[in-house]
Chain A
């Protein structure tokens, strides 16, 4: 694994040696990460590398077989309800209750977050404004396009102004304008928060991430800024495109061990 020197403030999100096995297959094999406030961490990796599984464990949805995840210092397995209060999570595919309207769904989420009355109304208005959902509030979610559904998922994640945001592919299915908008939103929110986004769109790393981690076969293979990662390309030491660097650090592993299943 290649690591680059960095300063660490106290981390809002801490993953320690997370391991997840499905039968004999090890999906996540010892991932440790610390994400301090102000950092937008891009989580990169080929499909099946363990990105979503890691995020599910970080969010406390999946129980880790080994290791621990802490949100604002609170262990997600020991005190799940407390830890989740500081978490905004956009699951893979942005699931939502399809038969509900956007406003009913957000009202439900607000209630689940303990927001009431004016507080809930303000939080919903703010999230709707940030995700630009004002025109579709009364529309059932299942009738909406993929891009709108993604924005509903984002609105739900940022509703309660959480300290830690874990977003699994937040820009998937969005058109270029919407992508730009969401990246802007993530940057705006990053000041006092720890944000982790997974993506396989490498331009996203340049656009929003202050740091990127590449994982492959359940382990971190590179960790640094976009500039750091560029140095990992095929012409060692020289800056190459992110895509070259990505393919170099990931396929070099998978090509050597094609039969990991």
Chain B
């Protein structure tokens, strides 16, 4: 446990030791605001809630979370520090979890920076704050899935740009797997049951429930199993590709 904490702390302070953290936070808050007020038309809708923000958040995450996850393992491999880390008395899964947790806490900090938006809608009207709180939890859960996918992609390559592109692509498949983009392609070659199975992997299906304030069992199962699966895949990737 103390080793997970040590890795977590080193990784998190690593974000703030470089400009990454500040660039990310500023862009994240700016784009969030942009989506909410211009694309989501917060004012014109005349409803005091944060739905415009949370509706576009998965797309924002799709691009920005891989920027957080891309360095997790690629950088270790590029700089050779993975050799240092993996000859210390620590298991691969501890390192994987420690690094992923650092990403989760960092995204949580980014989400915390959007609290002024929450205050704004409270000033404008009386939103259902329970729904907003659940939406924040859902957003963080979504980010933790993206981070788990991203950490796996990062473990596959020593190149951060490749890790980023792979993570965005994989994330895109999971975001859109409930939409015709993916389902039509699947239906053309596979039976309906397969298409149904794939659509149940979709992020948006589960996330939409959360933005309505609904924490249901399938959503929780989806978040936990997706995160666990991708973190497990990360440990395998780290193990296999250590040398390269």
Contact = CB atoms under 8 A, between A and B. Distances in A.
A98 B87 contact: no
Contacts of A96: 81, 84
Nearest to B20: A99
A97 B3 contact: no
Contacts of A100: 10, 13-14, 17
Contacts of B6: 108, 111-112
A112 B14 contact: no
B3 A91 contact: no
A138 interface: no
Contacts of A95: 79-81, 83-84
A77 to B, nearest CB: 12
A112 B80 contact: no
Interface string B1-23: 01101110110011001100000
A108 B80 contact: no
A20 to B, nearest CB: 9
Quick one: which of B10, B14, B84, B90 has the most chain A CB within 10 A? B84
Contacts of B242: 61-62
A82 B7 CA distance: 19
Interface residues of B, number: 24
A87 interface: yes
B interface SS class:
helix
B88 A112 contact: yes
A119 interface: no
B113 interface: no
Interface residues of A, number: 31
Contact of A91 (B13, B80, B91, B243): B80
A99 B84 contact: no
A177 to B, nearest CB: 26
B46 interface: no
Interface string B73-84: 000000111011
Given A62-B243, A97-B81, A98-B79, A89 B89 contact: no
Contact of B83 (A56, A82, A114): A56
Interface of B: 2-3, 5-7, 9-10, 13-14, 17-18, 79-81, 83-84, 86-91, 242-243
Interface of A: 56, 59-62, 80-82, 84-85, 87, 89, 91-93, 95-100, 104, 108-109, 111-114, 116, 140, 156
Closest 6 CB pairs of A and B: A95-B80, A111-B6, A91-B83, A99-B17, A84-B89, A81-B89
